[in-house]
Chain A
Amino acid sequence: MARKDFLDIASLSREEVDLLLDQATPFKELFTRSVKKVPALKGKSVLMLFYEPSTRTLSSFEVAAKRLSADVIDLDVPHSSVAKGETVKDTVDTLQAMRADYIVVRHKMSGLPRAIARQTRASVINAGDGAHAHPTQALLDAFTLKEAFPDLSGRKILIAGDILHSRVARSTSRLFLKLGVEVGFLGPGSLVPRTGPEGITRFTDFDEALRWGPDAVYLLRVQMERQEVQYFPSVHEYHRVYGVTQERFKRIRGEGIYIMHPGPVNRGVELCHEVMDYERSLINQQVENGIAARMAVLYWLKPQTDSEEVNRE
C-alpha cells in the first residue's frame, strides 16, 4: 500500500483494509514490551489539528505517534469560534512551510480533511470530519470485533443511536459491509435516515432488532445538547425506547451478544450501569486497539517528498 492520506473508508480497497487490520496486530504486541517504542517514524513530525475538542482521540493519536518515535506537535487551534475556510487554508499553508510529515485533522466541517490533503504534501489522517467519516475508529472497531470473531463474514452488527449525525456510524458501517458483515441501524425514526445507506437493515424497534440476531450491538453516544430542533423528546424516553435498559441487558447477556461503544459513554442514556461490568463488553479493548490501529495507519501512509508536486487530485 503506497497511499498518502487516510481520509475515509470509501476510498480503501478490500486489500488495503485487510492489510491494515492484519498490521494492527504486530503493533499491539509491542504494548507488552518494556520499551513500547519503535524508531519507525523517528525524526518525522506529526501535527495535531484538532478543531473540535477531543481528549480521547487526540491522546490515542499522540500515543500512537510517540510510540513510533515521531515528534508530536499539537497546534492550538480555536475550538470555540466557527473556524471558517480561510483560516484553515492559512493554517495549511503554514503547515506546508513547516514541512509537517503527517497531519491529523478533526473538524466539524465534512470534507475538510480532503481539502487539506489536496493542498499539502503531508499525509493527512482524518480524525473525524463533521458527520462524514471517522476511518480510524472504523478500523479499530473492525479489529476489535475480529478478535472476538476471527471470521467476520456472515456476522451481524447492530449500530444503535443517532445515526444521522454520526460519522462513526457511517465509517464503521461501511467498513463492516466491506468485510461481509451484515449491518443494521437502530434508532428513533428521526435519527435513522431513510435515504442513504444501501444494504443496511433499518430498525426503529429495539426488540425487533434483537430478534434479527446481532452478534454485537454497537452503541452510539446520544447527545441532547447538540440539538437545535428536537429529534426525540427526552433522554429518559430515549433510554426506555432505544437504550440498553436493564431488561434488554438481561436478554443481551443471555444471548452472549457483544457490546461496543466508541466512547465516551453516557450512563443511563445509551446503556444502563450494569453494561460497564459486562464480560462481553469490548469497550476497553476498543480503546487499546485504537492505539495499535492508528500506529498501523501512521506506519503505512507515505507523505509526498519535497521533490514531488503537491498532490492536487
Chain B
Amino acid sequence: MSLLIKGGEIAREEGAPVRGDVLVENGVIKAVGQNLEAPEGVREVDADGKIVAPAMFDAHVHFREPGQEHKEDIAHGTEAAINGGVTGVVMMPNTSPVIDSAAVVGAVLDKARQVSRIPVYTSGCITKGRTGEGLAGIDGMRNLGVVMLTDDGDPVANPAVLKNAMEYATSFGMFFASHCEVPELSGPRALNEGKVSYQLGIKGSPACSEEICMDRDIRLAHATGAHVHIQHVSSAIGMKTVRWWKERGAKVTAEVAPHHLIFNEEDIGEYDTHYKMNPPLRTLEDNAALLEGLKEGVFDLIATDHAPHGEFEKGQDFVSAPNGITGLETALVSLHDRFIAAGEFGWDLIVKRYSAEPRRLMGLDPVTVEEGKSAELVVFDPAGETTFSRDFMRSKSVNTPFLNQTLKGRVDLVVRGSEVLLER
C-alpha cells in the first residue's frame, strides 16, 4: 500500500502540528517533508487542513468476548476502534468466563488474530474467577504476553490479597490496574452521591469511596514496589491524590475517560441511563479538576472504558441498567469537539495521551510519523462533522450519549502498515 498524504498538519507529542507531506511506500513511511512528489502509481490523498497523527491506542476496552457476545465481540469491537482512529486496544478481563488463565488468554488472543485487523492485547485478572480471593494463573498469562493485571469492574476488596498479588507479580515485571471503590460505601453503584442522587431518590456513591480505595491501592503499591495504574479517575480529589503521590515518587500512573471530562451528574436528567457508568459522573468542579489534571500531566493517558450494552439492558430502570457507555468510536471526535476546537488543549496532548503513552504503558514503542517507521496513522478533518447514527457505528451496541448527535471533526483515514483500514 502506497500513498502520498499531501498538505496535512502532522501532529506529534511535543509542539504544535507542522504542515508537511507524508509519503508511504509499501506500508513504510518513505519520506516526510515539503512539496513531495508522488511516484508512479502512488495515489495522492489531499490532507489540506487536516491533521495527520499517529494512530490512537485505547488501554481500557470491554469486548465482552467470551460470554456476552450479544453486546460486543472482538470482531465488532476492533472495527469500532478503527472507526474511531484507534489501531490498538487492551481488553479488560471481566468476561464470562473471566480472563484469568493461559487457556482463556490463549483463546481470546487466537480469536483476535483471526478476526481483528488491528493488534489486540488483553489484561488478566488479579484474582481467580475475579472473586477477590485466590490468585489467578499469573505466570501462564504472563507467558502469553499479558503485562497488565486487573479485576476491573470491582476493586480487590481484601487489601491483603492485593498486597500479595503485588509482591508476587511485580517480580515478573507485570503491573496492576485498579478499579477503585469501597463496595460498602457505593450503594447500588448507580450515580454520584450529591444533589442529583437526592432528587432522583437513589442512594449515591460518594467520591470518597473511590478516593479511599485509590489511596489504599497506591500505598500498597508503594510498599511493595509495584507499579499501579489507576483506572477511570472521576473526581477532583482523586486527581489530587494521584498528583500528591507522583510528587512523592510513587510508581503510579493514571488514566481519565473522555466522559468524565465532558459530562456531569446533571446530564442524567430524568434517569437517562446513557449517563450511567461506574465510577459515575460527578460535578462540574470535578470536570474542571480532571481537565486540569490532564493538561498538567497528572493523567498519563486517556482511555475510554468502552463498555457496550444492549438497548434492552440499558432500557431498564436506572438502578437495574448496567453501567457503562461505548467510547471507541466517539472519543477522538468528542475530545476534538469539546476541547481542541474550544482551544483547551492541542493535538500534542492527544498524541501523547491517547497514542504514545498508552503504548508505553503496555511496553510498546509509540508509533510516530517519521521516515523509516511503519505507517500507522490517522487523518482527522477538524472541519468535518461526524453524526453518530446507528448506521455509522461499527460496534454491536450503541449505548452512547452521543447517539444521533453531530459533533465537529471526522476521522477520514486510518492506515496501518500495508493496509488502509478505513477511508471516508
Contacts and interface: CB of A to CB of B under 8 A. Distances in A.
Direct contact of A and B (CB under 8 A): yes
Contacts of A313: 270
A86 B200 contact: no
A85 B201 contact: no
B140 interface: no
A33 interface: no
B195 A89 contact: no
B201 A195 contact: no
B199 A196 contact: yes
A257 interface: no
A20 interface: no
Contact of A85 (B197, B203, B320): B320
Contact of B201 (A84, A86, A115, A131): A131
Contact of A130 (B201, B312, B313, B315): B201
Interface residues of B, number: 21
Interface stretch (A23-31, A93-101, A106-114, A271-279): A106-114
B199 A109 contact: no
Given A88-B317, A170-B199, A111 B194 contact: no
Interface in A157-198: 167, 170, 193, 195-197
B317 A195 contact: no
14 contacts: A84-B316, A88-B316, A89-B312, A110-B202, A110-B271, A110-B318, A111-B202, A111-B317, A112-B317, A115-B316, A131-B201, A170-B198, A195-B194, A195-B198
B316 A129 contact: no
Interface string A50-88: 000000000000000000000000000000000011101
The 10 closest A-B pairs by CB, nearest first: A85-B316, A196-B198, A132-B201, A131-B201, A111-B271, A110-B201, A85-B320, A109-B317, A112-B317, A195-B194
Interface in A136-162: none
Contacts of B318: 109-111
A196 B317 CA distance: 22
Interface string B315-341: 111111100000000000000000000
A115 B317 contact: yes
A46 interface: no
Contacts of A129: 201
A237 to B, nearest CB: 23
Interface of B: 193-195, 197-203, 270-271, 312-313, 315-321
A313 B271 CA distance: 12
Given A114-B271, A130-B202, A109 B194 contact: no
B172 to A, nearest CB: 40
A189 to B, nearest CB: 15
A290 B212 CA distance: 47
A198 to B, nearest CB: 8
Nearest to A129: B201
Contacts of A10: 199
A133 interface: yes
A114 B270 CA distance: 8
Contacts of A114: 270-271
A133 B316 contact: no
Contacts of A107: 317
A133 B201 contact: yes
A132 B312 contact: no
A111 B196 CA distance: 13
B193 A195 contact: yes
B111 to A, nearest CB: 29
Contacts of A88: 316-317
B201 A167 contact: yes
Contacts of B320: 84-85, 109
Contact of A132 (B194, B202, B313, B315): B202
Contacts of A167: 201
Contacts of A131: 201-203
Interface string A294-313: 00000000000000000001
A195 B316 contact: no
A193 B198 contact: yes
A111 to B, nearest CB: 4
Contacts of A170: 198-199, 201
B13 to A, nearest CB: 40
B370 to A, nearest CB: 51
A229 to B, nearest CB: 8
Contact of B312 (A86, A110, A133, A193): A86
Contacts of A84: 316, 320
Nearest to A229: B184
B200 A110 contact: yes
A119 B197 CA distance: 24
Given A130-B202, A131-B202, A167-B201, A110 B319 contact: yes
A195 B270 contact: no
B310 to A, nearest CB: 11
Contacts of B316: 84-86, 88-89, 115
Nearest to A198: B195
A195 B321 contact: no
A196 B201 CA distance: 10
Given A111-B270, A115-B316, A195-B194, 17 more contacts: A85-B316, A107-B317, A109-B320, A110-B200, A110-B202, A110-B317, A114-B271, A115-B317, A130-B201, A130-B319, A131-B202, A133-B201, A167-B201, A170-B201, A193-B198, A196-B195, A313-B270
Nearest to B268: A111
A170 B193 CA distance: 16
Interface in A189-231: 193, 195-197
A85 B317 contact: yes
Contact of A197 (B194, B198, B321): B198
B267 to A, nearest CB: 15
Nearest to A116: B317
